[in-house]
Amino acid sequence: MQTQGVAGKRPADIYFFATCVVDQFFPGAGLDAITLLEREGIRVHFPVAQTCCGQPAYTSGFPDQARAVAAHQLTLFPENWPLVVPSGSCAGMIKHHYPRLFADDPQRRAQAEALSLRVYEFTDFLVNVLGYAAQDQGAECTVVLHTSCSARREMGVHLSSRQLLDGMKGVTVAMQDHESECCGFGGTFSLKQPEISAAMVADKLESLKATGAERVLSADCGCLMNILGHAAWKDAQDGQTSATLPGEHIASFLLRRTEQGAAK
């Protein structure tokens, strides 16, 4: 877990790396994360030339292609500001895999290593750099939290989301069985081994639903894409007209619950 800001103090400026999934599929989550950070008095910089961290190619066995894409991102964050990423998985890629990806390229490796030191997963940044605690304004509600494998095992920041939620007075966090188990997304794994992936996401949804929680939260949109996509499919199969387990990025939940006159 990271406990220090870049210079050991609250930064005035940060970079925001949205990830391609948030940019295209969950733009609201990105906007909410930025709004929340700005409300904390931070200037958020979003270099528009950003695209994708390169992880899809990297984990699929195409490191050259990942390197080409990663090399482009490396040029976008020149100032010594924290780089905040609303995804443990993409943050992990930049933090842990960029330095390895450029192992044979001294100049880029140095850049990657320097960048690695200032990469933060969004909830980790809120809790451990800003010391943020949500002033919950919403009505009583029960949620269930899914933590991505990268946030848990690669970034070691899985406790941040829970800490944020535990500090909210109207929010009860339900515990699902097999909490630490993967949802079955795994990027191209879901396409290459669809039957196994399907079995995993079905079990995950069942565990989440069994808690009776009203909604599922996660700090990773990759997992949400998988879990919510399956949940909506299942609802359609079951003839449900509204979502039996809606879900969203934790940033959206935090922002909504801390606004005046907040609803659930």
Footprint of other proteins (CB under 8 A):
18, 20, 22-28, 30-31, 34, 46, 48-52, 54, 56-66, 68-69, 71-72, 149-150, 152-154, 180-182, 184-203, 225-226, 229-230, 232-234, 236
Joined together, the tokens standing for residue 93 give 């890629």
The radius of gyration computed from the CA coordinates of the chain, to the nearest angstrom, equals 18
**Smallest gap from residue 139 Cβ to other proteins (A):** 27
Sheet architecture: strand order including 119-121? 43-45, 13-16, 83-85, 119-121
**Smallest gap from residue 258 Cβ to other proteins (A):** 18
Decide if 161 contacts 134 (C-beta within 8 A). Answer: no
Decide if 264 contacts 141 (C-beta within 8 A). Answer: yes
* Cβ-based nearer residue to other proteins, 138 or 249: 249
**Smallest gap from residue 224 Cβ to other proteins (A):** 12
Decide if 17 contacts 94 (C-beta within 8 A). Answer: yes
**Smallest gap from residue 9 Cβ to other proteins (A):** 27
**Smallest gap from residue 227 Cβ to other proteins (A):** 9
* Cβ-based nearer residue to other proteins, 56 or 247: 56
Return phi, psi of residue 244, to 5°.
Answer: -80, -25
* Cβ-based nearer residue to other proteins, 5 or 56: 56
* Cβ-based nearer residue to other proteins, 81 or 168: 81
Measured distance CA(256)–CA(263) in Å, rounded: 7
* Cβ-based nearer residue to other proteins, 125 or 185: 185
SS3 content of the chain, % helix, strand, coil (to 5): 50, 10, 40
